[in-house]
Chains A and B, each alone.
Chain A
Amino acid sequence: MPRFKHEDLRDIPAAALMLLPSLVFLALFTYWPILRSVWFSFHDVMLGSPEIFFLGLENYTRLLADGLFWKSFGNTALYTLLTIPLSIICALLLAVALDTRLRGMAFYRSAFFYPVMIPSVAAGMVWVFLYAPGYGPINGLMAALGLPRLEWLYDRSWAMPAIILMSIWKYAGYFMLILLAALQLVPRDLYEAARLDGVSATRQLLHITIPLISPTLYFVIIIGVLHSYQIFDYVYVMTQGGPADATNVLTFYIYQNAFQFQDIGYASAVANALLLFIIALIAILAATLGRRVHYLGS
């Protein structure tokens, strides 16, 4: 039994009162749903029906044998593992290019950042138009350049890359802005010294810039993981999981099972798989990148 100093106990009533409003809502809309999703996954629960039957592990054995589950799991992993590195590399290069007291800085910043302000539904819809096979401007441009026209969102192998490309447009500006703030804290004389020693720009980036902003890069990667949930909106608006489930992802598969097939129990099992995927991804990131992060001055 740990012992507390008198002082430690005096604040308890005040702390309890101040934490209570948050805790009530967190309990109701964060903790309870997570626990309940675990509970539901062991049961047969139908949407709108009060009856619940215990199933044991049946939902999970079904999950392991469900090809569509594995497909949407693979698509989720593919989307996350491609979108995050690509948009962060893009963001880093933009940030480095902008970190030079350039004229027109405000213009460039806004041009790259504004997609963050646009609702996901509007972004998705506009890109459906841009990708339209017949009259869409992207195909128009490709034809003008002598490239083959693509079916984009209607093509099994191009639908996911199309959504990834759109996501880079949507989020790179956000990551760029956070990285730009970190770059501005890197001491200028380090670059001066490197330049005098004849170190090339690429090596400066790899050996000075990236190590020094590594805590921020790590933070941006984590934010990227959390933003990748939003793919639901794009899939819902742009493809409804198609063609032939080429863009079906876990969040959308949960939605289909729950609201199209009314099977809350099985949908909960899929939801738990998603939670495990996110926990595992963040744990791996923390164990690999998190340890190697270089904190300036600490």
Chain B
Amino acid sequence: MRHTLSKYWHHLVLLPLALLWLSPMLWIGVTSLKTKSEVFDSAAGWLPSVAQWSNYPAALSVAPFGRYLINSVLVTGSIIAAQLITITLAAYAFARLRFPGKNLLFGLFLVQIMFPIYAIFLTNFVTIRELGLMNSLWALIVPFVASGYGTFMLRQAFRQVPAELADAARLDGCGHLSTLWHVYLPLVKPTLVAFAIISVVTHWNDYMWPLLVTNSEEVRTLPIGLGLLAKADSGADWTRLMAATIVVVSPLLLFFVIFQRRFVDSFMHAGIK
């Protein structure tokens, strides 16, 4: 009896809080279906009188969102593909090979976690300019090819793999690369998926760096396109802007809803172990 009562109390507190947390998203959805005048009219109530679905095609036609989407996919896809290669190799070296200066080098990898692009964007911007990569998709990819965080996560996972398994493979004449491929990688799939999800969420949503190094439609990504639309509208047409926001946030939210368990597990266990 006491138990059911305490659970009842839990819901009584949690449900309003959850609705409060959801309210910005609900507000975006509701506004995207209103007419312009309903937005500014406080007497019009919270819901649109007639759902204006035409706000969506209107939002999509003011900017090349198709192009932005392709760019976002290309950039995020390239980053995660390159990262999976670099972190797998480095994590294996740190977890299983013996060489002098290992701890020092590992510490150097961790420096990147402390100083992400937000801390060092200025001199990176100068470098990208000197390399002639300004306003190209490369500029959005190359600073993120190496990942200290990914190397750290994967090294922890590799260390859990029993050394005997690797030794057996080595005795059978497998080199480092084939041991890595046939023994280690299949055993750390959950960690790889967890890192991939975190990395994709981070880079799909990146704003500051792409803002600095892109200046034409051909290379802009979805968040940049949305930011530009907001600037152009500057509060004049919230309905169109909120429709565009729904379009931009829905790919990740959709994946999240479909693969909820996977996402939650990835973020839950990313830091632990």
Contact = CB atoms under 8 A, between A and B. Distances in A.
Interface of A: 2, 4, 7-12, 14-19, 21-26, 28-34, 36-37, 40, 94, 97-98, 100, 102-104, 106-123, 125-130, 132, 134-135, 137, 140, 169, 173-174, 177-178, 180-182, 216, 219-220, 223, 226, 229-230, 232-233, 236-237, 251, 254-255, 258-259, 264, 267-268, 271, 274-275, 278-279, 282
B252 interface: yes
A189 B10 CA distance: 21
Contacts of B114: 226, 278-279, 282
Given A19-B105, A26-B109, A121 B223 contact: yes
Interface string B215-259: 000000011101100100001001001100100110011001100
B24 A127 contact: yes
B248 A122 contact: yes
A264 B271 contact: no
Contact of B127 (A28, A119, A169, A258): A28
B208 interface: yes
B135 interface: no
Contacts of A113: 264, 267
A181 B271 CA distance: 10
B27 interface: yes
B18 A112 contact: yes
Q: Is the interface of A mostly helix, strand, loop or mixed?
A: helix
A9 B207 CA distance: 44
B146 A22 contact: yes
Given A216-B271, A232-B118, A26 B146 contact: yes
Contacts of B253: 114, 117-118
Contacts of B50: none
20 contacts: A11-B99, A12-B100, A17-B89, A21-B146, A22-B89, A22-B146, A22-B147, A28-B142, A30-B111, A30-B146, A98-B14, A104-B11, A117-B256, A129-B238, A135-B40, A169-B21, A177-B267, A220-B271, A226-B113, A236-B207
Contact of B119 (A9, A31, A236, A274): A274
Contact of A15 (B97, B109, B120, B222): B97
B119 A97 contact: no
Contacts of B111: 26, 30-31, 34
Contacts of A278: 114-115, 119
